[in-house]
Every structure is written in structure tokens, then in C-alpha cells.
Amino acid sequence: MPIMPARSVSPHAMPAERLAALLRRMPKAELHIHIEGALEPELIFRLAERNGLPLAWPSVEALRAAYAFTDLQSFLDLYYAGAGVLRTEQDFFDLAWSYLERAAAEQVLHAEIFFDPQTHTARGVPFEAVITGLEHACRRAHAEFGLSARLILCFLRHLSEEEAFATLEQALPHRHHFIGVGLDSSERGHPPAKFARVFARCRALGLHVVAHAGEEGPAAYVAEALDLLGAERIDHGVRCVEDPALVQRLARARVPLTVCPLSNARLRVFPTLAAHNLPALLDAGLVVTVNSDDPAYFGGYLNRNFVEIFAALPQLDARHAYRLARNSFEASFAPAADQARWIARLDAVFAEAGVPV
Ligand code: ADE
Ligand code: ZN
């Protein structure tokens, strides 16, 4: 028998099944989840019936079959249609609770949850019903699971600056129920510059600021989000690689990117998961996190995002898993003492698995 040369095995390399189990078991935070994107087809049908609303699809299966997206807008059209069944405070509670139960089961210790009030107030739903239902679910998740959950109000960028200001006014009596503001919806043709004055007001109110940029839009929108909105985190941001100076700036300033692998593949930001630039973003020293975006529409919640992107990109190993989980806590808006406690739990899980960090 030929003598094989000794191969040095990295302590971070492990069988795929063991790595997947570690990804599921490790404590993590989720920083980019649209609560309306957690609306499962079964709940859409249940709420439509409860609220006496007609639906354009004959069955849950027919609705799920319609989830064949070609780009961001083709998704948003269905996402806004689905959200039309949300009418009452109880509906918003049920939606958030369904997400939070799953998140707790996936070892999510902290979630910063986006909501789109304009989608609902445009249909005559009171702002108060939206935020009160969501907030009650967050409070209960903390009491029942110890899961810390916070809300981030997103402005819809396809609407006007004036409408964003009006939404902010409606939100102010509920200021203590959300920690920050974001910017989402159709990116192309709606640059961050359009909302510079609204975000200046939000910053003056002491709100945290994040913005979707560089998902379908160009790297220049990422720079605008930093310069004109004061964004502390960039949601998606994957197209930053088109501007190497911007990548250096993001790395140096430690501006986190909340990356959403399954979303990017389903909306064709990348042709396949294997073509995703997550490894390049990590290699560039960026503070990358993994998130689910709209899990009910893109085929998976947070753990599925982790397991699938690691399966598609074999160069990702246990060391990357640790880095991504640790980044998720450090990129959060949670108090430093909470972050330190969660990171200690993360360290304990890796120590127990025998993985040096
Ligand atoms: N709203 C919900 N999901 C979104 C996404 N991926 N990009 C922009 N707006 C969104
Ligand atoms: Zn998003």
C-alpha cells in the first residue's frame, strides 16, 4: 500500500453534518428580518378568513407556487399583496409571535425586527394597532423564552419624503416602542438622498439608523446611506465590492452588513448560492452577519440561511461560523453587557464542540 503524505487537518474543518449541527446550535442574533416577510401562506389564509377578506389564490399551495421571483420588485408585489390580510392588533401579534417562536427554537437570543407601517396605514389600519400588536409579542417572547426583541420602523423608499415625515409624526407617540429607523422597498431609482432630511430628524430624536443599500442598487447608494443618512449598518450591501475604496471604508469604520443569502439567491442578486460573495466580504475584513430577510417567501428562517450558504460554499468552516455569530451580537444595538453575556454563551458552545476560537 502506498504511503500517503501526512495531511494537516485544520481544527476548524469538520464533517458537513457536524458543521450544520453547530450552525443550528450556536447562539446568534438576527438583525435583518421584515416581520411582514415572516407571514407564512397558511397564516395569510387564516387571517383572510378571520377578517372576511377575499384572496386572489385558491389555496395555500397555489400561493406558494406563485413565489417564483425574477427580481426585487416581483417579490415586493406579492409581499405587499400578502400583507393586505393584516388588519387588527391581534393579527400583528400573531404574526410576530409565529416568528419569535421559531427564532427562539433556532437559538436566536436577540432580534431587531423591521416593520413597514406605511403598508398598513395606507389600508386604513391604525399605526397604533400595528406597533402595539408587535410590541406585545416582543414582550412575551422575552418573558417566555428570554429572547430579546426590538423593533425598527422602516420607511418605504418608493413613497415620498413627505409621506415618510407624516409616518414619523404618527410614530412619535410610540417612540419608546422602537429603537431605530430603516429604509426598504424598491431600491432602484430611489436613492438614500431622497430621505436625507427625514433621517436627520430621526437622528436628532436619538433613533438608530440603518438602510437597505447595495442590494439591487449600486455601490454609490451604500456611500450615500453612510454620508447622507448616517446609517450605522447597511442592510444587504453586497454590491459594495464594486467600489474597492468603499469596501476599505466599511472595513475600517466597522460598519456591519446584514447579508441575506437565501434572499439574494431567490431575488437573483446572485445566480446561485454558490456564486454568493459572502467569503469575499469576510476576507475583506467586513463585519458581515447572516440574516433571513423575508423567511416565509425565500425558503427558510435563519438557521436554514446558515446551513445552506455553508453547504454551497465549502471554504466556509467553523471559524467563519463563530465570526458570523459573534458579529451578529457586536453589530446589534443591544447594550454592551448583553452582548458580552451572549458572546460568553457562544464561546461556551464552541468550547463544548471542541472548536478553538
Ligand atoms: N422589503 C422586504 N424585503 C425587502 C428587501 N429584500 N429589499 C428591500 N425591501 C424589502
Ligand atoms: Zn430586507
Owning domain of residue 236: 16-352
135 part of the active site: no
| Residue 294 CB–ligand 1 contact under 6 Å | yes
In a domain, 3, yes or no: no
pLDDT digits (tens, 9 = 90+) for 218-248: 999 999 999 999 999 999 999 999 999 999 9
Q: Are strands 257-259 and 288-290 parallel, antiparallel or unpaired?
A: parallel
| Residue 308 CB–ligand 1 contact under 6 Å | no
pLDDT digits (tens, 9 = 90+) for 9-46: 677 889 999 999 999 999 999 999 999 999 999 999 99
- pLDDT for the residue 3: 53
| Ion ligand 2, residue ranges at CB < 5 A | 293
Average pLDDT over residues 276-284: 98
Is the Cβ–Cβ distance between 39 and 117 less than 8 Å?
Answer: no
In a domain, 133, yes or no: yes
- SS3 for 137-203, per residue? HHHHHHHHHCCEEEEEEEEECCCCHHHHHHHHHHHHHHHHHCCEEEEECCCCCCCHHHHHHHHHHHH
CA distance 68 to 326: 33
In a domain, 8, yes or no: no
pLDDT digits (tens, 9 = 90+) for 96-144: 999 999 999 999 999 999 999 999 999 999 999 999 999 999 999 999 9
- pLDDT for the residue 11: 74
- pLDDT for the residue 12: 81
In a domain, 306, yes or no: yes
- pLDDT for the residue 9: 66
Q: Ligand 1, closest atom to CA 187?
A: 8
CA distance 150 to 142: 10
When the pLDDT of each residue in the chain is averaged and rounded to a whole number, the result is 97
Our mutation pick for probing the ligand 1 site, out of 30, 33, 34, 113, counting the most ligand atoms within 8 A of Cβ, is: 34
In a domain, 127, yes or no: yes
In a domain, 174, yes or no: yes
| Residue 184 CB–ligand 1 contact under 6 Å | yes
In a domain, 345, yes or no: yes
Q: Residue 226 belongs to a domain with what CATH number?
A: 3.20.20.140
In a domain, 65, yes or no: yes
- pLDDT for the residue 263: 98
Q: For cell 387571517, what's the residue?
A: 47
Q: Ligand 1, closest atom to CA 260?
A: 6
Give yes or no for residue 7 having a pLDDT over 60: no
pLDDT digits (tens, 9 = 90+) for 171-189: 999 999 999 999 999 999 9
Q: Rg (Cα) of the chain, in Å, rounded?
A: 20
Total number of domains constituting the chain: 1
Give yes or no for residue 146 having a pLDDT over 60: yes
| Residue 292 CB–ligand 1 contact under 6 Å | no
- pLDDT for the residue 279: 98
Backbone angles phi, psi at 234, to 5 degrees: -110, 125
Q: Percent of the chain beyond pLDDT 70?
A: 97
CA distance 318 to 292: 20
Pick the closest to residue 356 from 9, 8, 7, 12 (CA basis).
12
